[in-house]
Each structure stands twice: as C-alpha cells, then as structure tokens.
Structure 1
C-alpha cells in the first residue's frame, strides 16, 4: 500500500472521537491517506458475542473516507487480513483486493434498507455531521454483521437481489434477452434442461446479441424473441449459443456468484444436476468450431422474496474454443472417452475461471419499469403526422413510455436550422426527418415497430383511408391547415382518436384539440383555434421576425428546445386523457406558460385569449 503523511482533517478526528462510545468497535491505529485510492483509510475491528460459519466473533475492516468528510463517500471493506471472505446480500462481490491493497472488494451496502426495513424510517445517513456520521455508518455495519450472521439481511417482501457478478467486456458489448412473466410459462417442465440459443442483431442498436429463439435438444422452439424482427449475424459476428436452466439461483453460499467450474459442479450437486451429462452433449458441438460460443445459465426467480417465481434470469458465460477431436489427445487415448477427458480436465477443469459477459433483460416490463403509459395507449397503433420539432419529441416520449406501433408521416428533410429544437443532430442534416426520427425510436426500444412515410399525406381520400386504416390514434403535429383539411375528407367505419397539437409564438402556448369519431372535424377545429390565432398573429407582429440567413428567407417559428419538450410532455398527458375519456364532442384546451416574480411556474390552462380579455374590460 502506498501511503503518505499528510495532516489529518479535523472533521475526521471528530468522527473518530464519536466512535469511542461504540463499545463493539475499536480503532486499530491512526488513519492513513492512501495515494492510490485518494482516500483516508481507518482500520477498525468489530466484535460480536460469538462467531458463526461465515462471520467471526471479531472481524477487521478498512473504512475509506473522502477528504471532504463529513461529506462524500464512506465505504466499509473487509480487511484482507482478518476480514470476512464470503459474499452476502447487500454486498458487492467480496473478491481479494487488487494491487496488494489491504482491503477486499466486498463493500457493504449500509445506506440501503436491510431485511424488511423501510428507508424513510431507518436509513438516514447524517451527511454533514462530523461527530455522528462515521459513528452512524459503524453502527450500521455492526447491524449488517448481526443480520449476516443470522441470515436476516433480506426478508419476505424485499425485492429479489441478484448476486454481484464479475462481468467482463467483449467484442459484443452485451447479450440481451426479454424474459418476463408473460414468457415464464414457456419454461414449464424445462428445469434441468438445456439446448441451443439462436442469436440475432438489432440493426439500430450496435454491439448487442439478442436471443432470437431458445430451442431444445430436438430443435423444437421453447420461446422466441418478443420484440421487433432481429437481423442475422454477419460472418465476423457469428457466435454459437446454448442455454441451461437450473431450478434455483446459482450461488455459492451465502450469496456469491460462482467463479470457477468447480463452483458450478458443487452447486449442481446440491440440486441433483448432472453437469457431466450436459457437457457430454455440449463438447462435440464446441469441438472444431471457429466461432465463439456463449452459455446462458439461468434459473427461475421471483420479483420479491417469498413470492412464487415469475421470471427466468440468465447469466452469460463465454465458453472456451475446443480443438477438433482428431489426432492424439495429449495424455489420453485417441477415442471419444479420451477426447471427453481432455476437455473435461482441460478447458473445463475445476480451477478454470468463469468468464461472465454483460447480460441485460430488455423486456418491456424491465425497460418501462420506471414509468409507462396506460395499456390503452401502449397497445394502440399510432400515426404522427409531422415529425418536426414538436412531432419528433412527442414521438420519442410516446416510445419511451411504451408505445409499440407507430407510423411517421413527413415529406421534409432536415436542415441545419432544425437542429436546435429537434431530436436530430447536425450529422443528420440532409436526411429525411422521418428516417432520422424512426432510427432514434428504434434505438430507444427493441420492441417498437416503426412504419415510415417520407412523403406528404395523400390528397386522395381513398389513399388516406388505406394508409391510416390500421392506426386507431392519429396525431397531427404539422400546424398545417392543408394537412388537416386533407385529413377531414377521409372517413373510417371504425372510430378512432384524433389529436392535433400546435405551439404558439415562442413556445409560450400549446393548443390541444382532440376528439373520437369517424372523421376529423376540421370546421370545429378552425372555430376553436381562430380567436387564438388572431392573438398569435398580433404577438408575432409585435416581435422581430427571426430569419435564418440573408436573402429571400421566410420568417422562422421561434421556440427553444426546452419549450418544445415542455409542450410535448403536455401533449402526451392530453393524449392519455383523450384515450381515457374517448370524447365524441371535440375537446379544445389551451395551455400557457406562466411565471411570477419567482420565475417559471409551468403550463396552466388558459380559457380566453388575452386580447379578448382586454376588449371585454
């Protein structure tokens, strides 16, 4: 360890004095500043009444403090000598420390709720209090130790916690799958089984391998990818995939991911799984292959402890490439039995380390867990007419919130002046707005299916009806009377929801018009919006027009990107309300940015144009 003598901050001295009242803790010596970690190291011993299988009566720890204490991080690591060596829940992988450090890597999670606790009641890190903060963390570490020794770090109802895995980078950045409660039934009766995984690519999302299908040993499909169609792997991307489903979490007690093939064999023995039987099937498929291979090792897991399993979890392991079974296997007879022992005792020997790859679950449930639209909107087929500033952001917000089927209609190409308030970048200038927005949407979601119409809305009624027939939500973001009057001439036997969104001068207002019916009521729309447009024209005239350059240029519509995003968020809220109410009579609302002496207050409904209010007075 590299140390240097520097002046100990007085705040840390105060923190150490606060530990004197913690009877079960003793500070071993003066803190040292570690130059590699750029943090202060406090070495302590924590004592308990008695030891257990994985937690001794006395354990040594290295507490790392930022130089900004009582702010910054406080990290508890087991000491390399005399510290705990097992990995528990609420702890990072407790591997030996790197670079001959005096602490292991198993940092404790002390600022998160432990077994059944609730954050608002218990977990209140006293940040900024030099006298109490180090003591609070030390007392939490003692509680963590007691819970670890008594198998009480997690409790029924807690979210299921996966063990920390030593993942590694690879030329394919990550392996993705889409397991969910909906796909769980496909695995009924498959526990203990293994088979082949067909892999594919997502064209717009680079550096991933997606699980196109899982097949059993007979070649029958167990389940397929639920997102949009995957592409084939190029020859240089070719990877062979295999799967193996275990009945329970694959962990070394108490809660450590296996690190060697010996760990795999020992865990399998506790579950009555025959590892060698699977390997006798696997090895011939690996022997002589020029391509890399991965093994998806999985097990059923619950969402919360104590609940029934509802989803399959997969870890991906990079498998070794085996030489072709030909010639003389060194040390063994040149027969099938000899080749089996060569590989079993060589590349798959007990001491060989497992090579974990980055693995993600990209199911809809996981990707939208932090916020999604109601199913009444997510499952709809949506058309967005006009993907300029407002339309592009509305489309993106809808897809981020779970919209799965969307069509984009716009004939324009991107110009450099569009970029300051559009989802595109300068690299997209000259490209079709539709194609650029479509690619962005596909990069956001592996599930979304985007249909591109890089041309104006057809003027022929029959053509409009045919093009938009499968879409039950039609959103207009064109701010164009031509598009709306064209839309009015169409009629569909099955009612759909129409919404027209447009912004006022400077993005200070949003105009929302919606209705459910067989046609778009253009006349009602004009009657609703006309008084506001008269006001907008006066506002425009009273402000300097914005021009993009010299010459015969048209005035531009001024609005910053943050105004567009705010307006687009209101559009999504309005669409959600329209789908909930399905109004047969037009619903017209105006939202205006409001502010006070304290600054921006948000968008608020506005019932009457300001010009009409003044004239009434």
Structure 2
C-alpha cells in the first residue's frame, strides 16, 4: 500500500479522536524508518492528581502500516508522562532507540479494565477504542485501582536476555509452600540438572544450605528424575520475603536495583552474596535462583513460591583478586564488590517457569476422581498406546503398561511410536515416550502379557490397581480377568476396535467378580459380519488376531476410537456406576460428510 493511502487511513482514524475532550493532538502522524512504525504524539488529561504522572500527560500511539489491522501500542512520553512501572504495564525503565518514548507499553488489549468490550477493527473505531482504554487506564492508575482483589495475580515483567539460550524450571504449589514455611534457611546452593539443549532447560532437584543440608526436595516424574549430568550443576539460591521490585512495580534491571529491592525487605544481599559465591569460584558462570511468595489473586495471602533465575557473571577465582589482596576468599570478594557486582552491572534474567502439575493441567485435565486412580493398561498396541497418551496429557500419571510385543515397521501407520523404536519392546518405548510428555508422569512398565496358572493366580498382581484397561482385543485376557479371584473392588474396562476401526467395542464393570459373556453375545453379530468383509482386504502377512485382523486401519480412526474410549471411562468413573455397561460405537457419515461416532448398541446390567 502506498504511503499516501496509509496516511489517509491514519488521518481518518486521528480525526475520530476529536470526539474526546480529554485528548489533544501534539503532532501529526510521523513514520519511524528504523522501527518501521507510524506514531501519533498526543496528550491526555485526567481529573485526579497522582504522584505517578502529571494530570496532563503525553503519549505515543504506535501502529503499523497495515492499520486498522495489526498491533496498536500506547507508550509513555520520555519526559512528560509516567516514569515508574505500574500494574498492567510493561517494564518502563528503558527508552526506545528513537529517544521519544519509554518501553512501558500499557496493557489495553485484554480484560484488565472494567466494562471490557470487544475490540472494533474499523478505521474510525479502532484507534478511538484504544484512546478510550488509555484514558480509563490512567484514571484507574490515579485512583490506585488498576487491579482488583478478585483479579488473578500477575508478576511484574522481568526483562529477559536476548542472547542467552536457556530456561529454568521449578515445581511449586500450595503443598510445597507449606513445606517452605517450615524451613528457616533462606539461602544456600541448589543442585540442577539439564533437560535439553538449544535452549538449555535447567530444572532444580534439591535446595541445600551452605553446610550441605537438604532444605527442600523437588519431586519430578520418572523422566526428569533421571540424572543427566554428574556431578550436578550448582546454583546459589535466595528466598526473599516478597517480590523484589523498584520504582513501584518494576523488576530490577541492575545489581544496584536488586540491592535497593533487597534493602526494602531488610535483606543484606551483599552479605548473602559474599557467602554463596564462595561456593562457585570455579571460573564458570552460574545461575542465581531468587524465590519469593506470591498469592493467587491480588490482595490474597501468599500461596506459592515463585522462582526467577538470572545468569550471574563469572565471579573472582584463582589469581583474579583485588589489587593488593591475596588469592583467598577475602581477596576474591573485594574484587567481586568492585568489578563484578557493580551498581550498573546488568542482570541477565532468563525465562523461568513453574512446571508444577497444577500449572500444567490448567489447560485441560481429567476429573480428580480419575487422577487419583492407579491404572493398569494391558496392551501397548495402537489403541492402548493412544489411550495412554490421552491419559498422561490430561494429568493421569500413575499408569502401568503391560505388554511384551516388539514394535515393527508395520506399526508405523497408526502407532504413537516412530522409526527409532523399531525392534524395541512396545511397552518400554511407550513408557519412555509417555514419561517425556510431562515432567510429573510416572508411567511404569511390566514386560509381560497377562497370564495365570492352574489355580487361576495371575502373573501380575492385579489388586494393586484401581482401574484395569484391557486394550488387547483378545478373548483370552478377558477370560483370565473373569476367572481371577480379586480381593477388592476394581473397575475393569475392555476396549477394542473392529474392521478398519470403523466400530468401537467397549465394556465397563465395577466390582470384584466379572463376567464377560453378555459382552461377547452383544458384539458377536458384528464380529461375524466383519469376517464376511475380510476377503475384501489385502491383509498383512502377520495374519489376524482373535477378535479382529491386523487390518489397514488409519491413525485418525484409531485416535477417534481412543478419545471416545477415554471419555466413556472417565464418565463411568465420575458417575460411580455399579452397573455393567457395554457399548458399540459406529462411525456415521451423511452425504459423504463424517458426522460422529454413534452408539448403535447399549446394554446395562446390574
């Protein structure tokens, strides 16, 4: 689009601002060639006085050439506007390269302001909408009402280093918060491991005192519990009384600002640093972990410990001492004070995330009734492995998989495993894959198929599990379950698919004795009908199973069947049903359009 056409749109949008008595245009639209953006300089007047900014403050509205599409950002003028950082504002300590505005953009795009309305996208309305939102933001800021007590808590923005390819992960929740409350030690050395590289993802395993006593242990699933690096990476840690901030709500940018933030909490950071860096004089850079309690909502009591990691500069070691001092802790610390931890030394914050189970599962989890169950999944084939993956991704971590089959090239078309797993035991490879899906997954494996002896005693202790899911599609497994003398109540589910995975057969039972004869009778006519169709398929050379052949079933059909099965199992557990439920699902199409899985047979007993 030509510059004149762009400017015509922008001027049309600017004229809409004339309807706002609180807004005065300072300059017409200008284009910044280096930033490749258009900006409009204006002032906004509010009624209330505030120490944060003048009643008539100046702002820059910044847009792209694609207006009314694209982002609209509102930045404070360098001199005649807000110089501190407030809630719902980016870090305001830095100045843009053009020297015109600070980088503390106002948060106007989400529901942070009362009476939120959806954003319009017309030329006349969009800029006007943001101007109205900016006025509202300023009025609330002046009244100290930018946040409400019921609003989810947000941390201030910590400026991340653009050159460091690393992240830090921790796991904290309300339970670990209570554990930390009983810990008197407030600083020490943490042991870390590395999950991956490019970017490096460090995660904490244990917090120790300087005398090497364990203060807090972080529980991870099987994948992260493995030791990757030995000896472990060490990182100093400090637990503060509250979030370290300066200039109202700005995270520290320099060691000088960190010193000020600590002094506000009566924390002698210099003394702490002198003690903890004595453990890392090895010529390497180390992470420093800074923790602090935070609430779930603004105004609430602290409920969790949050951690932020920064990459320390290399501290003094060897012959690098202050002039006139020996090669000892005193000489090294004197150099650190004068040359390393200077007031203007920049803090290299890195991305730090809470990998706690509660935080991860907020985007979707199973019912708590299912999360607490110990599950045995028999069969690590395509349907069993897919069901297991859905379980793990939804927060069901206590799963044991029993199988002894080998993963072959023919399995690639619909199994969750890949080329790297060919020739491996399915259950072992599936177990490793599932544990890699979530830092808290604790999937175990039994390298065997279910069997029993002459006295009907099974080779697997089935009474250890609350839920047993059979995904083998083999009558033999159900016959064993039917003959087993269970000592307590279990939920048993059997899941299998028909020819081409176009049908799904599911049965669920709750008790300590089980009979599958009714289920056999229900599905038998469908299985017999499918056998008539076998001749139409060029079956793979490894033949057929007891219930259905090793047919060419697509992965999408398997995934639909697996997802449906999981929902059926979850609903059965939530309902606390004592009845036996048997279902036959069938894929339905109309006029060549796939509609759904539909229940074509349903039988309840008990």
Instruction: Confirm or deny a common fold (TM above 0.5).
Output: yes
Query: RMSD in angstroms over aligned alpha carbons?
Result: 3.2
The question of whether the paired residues in 1 share the 8 Å contact of 2:165 and 2:198 is answered with no
Higher mean alpha-carbon deviation, 4-13 vs 472-481, is at 4-13
Alignment of 1:318 with 2:316, yes or no, is no
Look up the match of 1:64: 62
Look up the match of 1:220: 213
- Once residues 179 and 313 of structure 2 are traced to their aligned partners in structure 1, the CA distance between those partners, rounded to angstroms, is 29
Q: Deviations over 1:185-218 (max 9, x none)?
A: 1121547821221223559999432221222344
Q: Deviations over 1:124-166 (max 9, x none)?
A: 2113x22211101111011112222332211101101011112
Q: Deviations over 1:282-337 (max 9, x none)?
A: 232233x2444222111111101122111001111222222326586226577755
Look up the match of 2:158: 165
TM-score, length of structure 2 as denominator length:
0.88
Alignment of 1:271 with 2:271, yes or no, is no
- Once residues 417 and 206 of structure 1 are traced to their aligned partners in structure 2, the CA distance between those partners, rounded to angstroms, is 35
- Once residues 334 and 552 of structure 1 are traced to their aligned partners in structure 2, the CA distance between those partners, rounded to angstroms, is 73
Look up the match of 1:74: 72
Look up the match of 1:15: 13
Look up the match of 2:415: 422
Look up the match of 2:492: 498
What does residue range 245-264 of structure 1 map to in structure 2 within 5 Å? 245-264=239-258
What does residue range 16-415 of structure 1 map to in structure 2 within 5 Å? 16-49=14-47, 52-80=50-78, 82-97=80-95, 99-100=97-98, 102-114=100-112, 117=114, 121-127=115-121, 129-168=122-161, 173-188=166-181, 190=183, 193-201=186-194, 207-228=200-221, 230-234=225-229, 238-287=232-281, 289-324=282-317, 329-330=322-323, 337-415=330-408
Where in structure 1 are there 5+ consecutive unaligned residues? 610-617
Higher mean alpha-carbon deviation, 584-593 vs 363-372, is at 584-593
Distance change >3 Å, CA 452–CA 202, structure 1 → 2? farther
Look up the match of 2:449: 456
SS of alignment partner, residue 205 of structure 2:
strand
The question of whether the paired residues in 1 share the 8 Å contact of 2:523 and 2:584 is answered with no
Distance change >3 Å, CA 474–CA 552, structure 1 → 2? closer
Look up the match of 1:615: none
The question of whether the paired residues in 1 share the 8 Å contact of 2:48 and 2:142 is answered with no
- Once residues 100 and 557 of structure 1 are traced to their aligned partners in structure 2, the CA distance between those partners, rounded to angstroms, is 66
The question of whether the paired residues in 1 share the 8 Å contact of 2:581 and 2:602 is answered with no
The question of whether the paired residues in 1 share the 8 Å contact of 2:48 and 2:139 is answered with no
Distance change >3 Å, CA 356–CA 460, structure 1 → 2? farther
Higher mean alpha-carbon deviation, 453-462 vs 338-347, is at 453-462
Distance change >3 Å, CA 66–CA 326, structure 1 → 2? closer
Alignment of 1:512 with 2:512, yes or no, is no
SS of alignment partner, residue 16 of structure 2:
helix
Distance change >3 Å, CA 31–CA 418, structure 1 → 2? farther
- Once residues 601 and 286 of structure 1 are traced to their aligned partners in structure 2, the CA distance between those partners, rounded to angstroms, is 63
- Once residues 27 and 134 of structure 1 are traced to their aligned partners in structure 2, the CA distance between those partners, rounded to angstroms, is 13
Q: Select which of 534, 537, 545 maps to 1:545.
A: 537
SS of alignment partner, residue 437 of structure 1:
helix
- Once residues 38 and 500 of structure 2 are traced to their aligned partners in structure 1, the CA distance between those partners, rounded to angstroms, is 53
SS of alignment partner, residue 179 of structure 1:
coil
Distance change >3 Å, CA 42–CA 598, structure 1 → 2? farther
Distance change >3 Å, CA 204–CA 443, structure 1 → 2? farther
How far off is 1:74 after superposition? 1.9
SS of alignment partner, residue 434 of structure 2:
helix
Higher mean alpha-carbon deviation, 106-115 vs 270-279, is at 106-115
- Once residues 510 and 66 of structure 1 are traced to their aligned partners in structure 2, the CA distance between those partners, rounded to angstroms, is 52
Higher mean alpha-carbon deviation, 396-405 vs 9-18, is at 9-18
- Once residues 123 and 436 of structure 1 are traced to their aligned partners in structure 2, the CA distance between those partners, rounded to angstroms, is 50
How far off is 1:459 after superposition? 4.9
TM-score, length of structure 1 as denominator length:
0.87
The question of whether the paired residues in 1 share the 8 Å contact of 2:582 and 2:602 is answered with no
Distance change >3 Å, CA 205–CA 571, structure 1 → 2? farther
SS of alignment partner, residue 54 of structure 2:
coil
- Once residues 300 and 552 of structure 1 are traced to their aligned partners in structure 2, the CA distance between those partners, rounded to angstroms, is 59
- Once residues 326 and 47 of structure 2 are traced to their aligned partners in structure 1, the CA distance between those partners, rounded to angstroms, is 58
The number of equivalent residue pairs is: 595
How far off is 1:59 after superposition? 3.3
The question of whether the paired residues in 1 share the 8 Å contact of 2:210 and 2:276 is answered with no
How far off is 1:255 after superposition? 1.2
How far off is 1:431 after superposition? 3.4
How far off is 1:274 after superposition? 1.6
How far off is 1:488 after superposition? 3.4
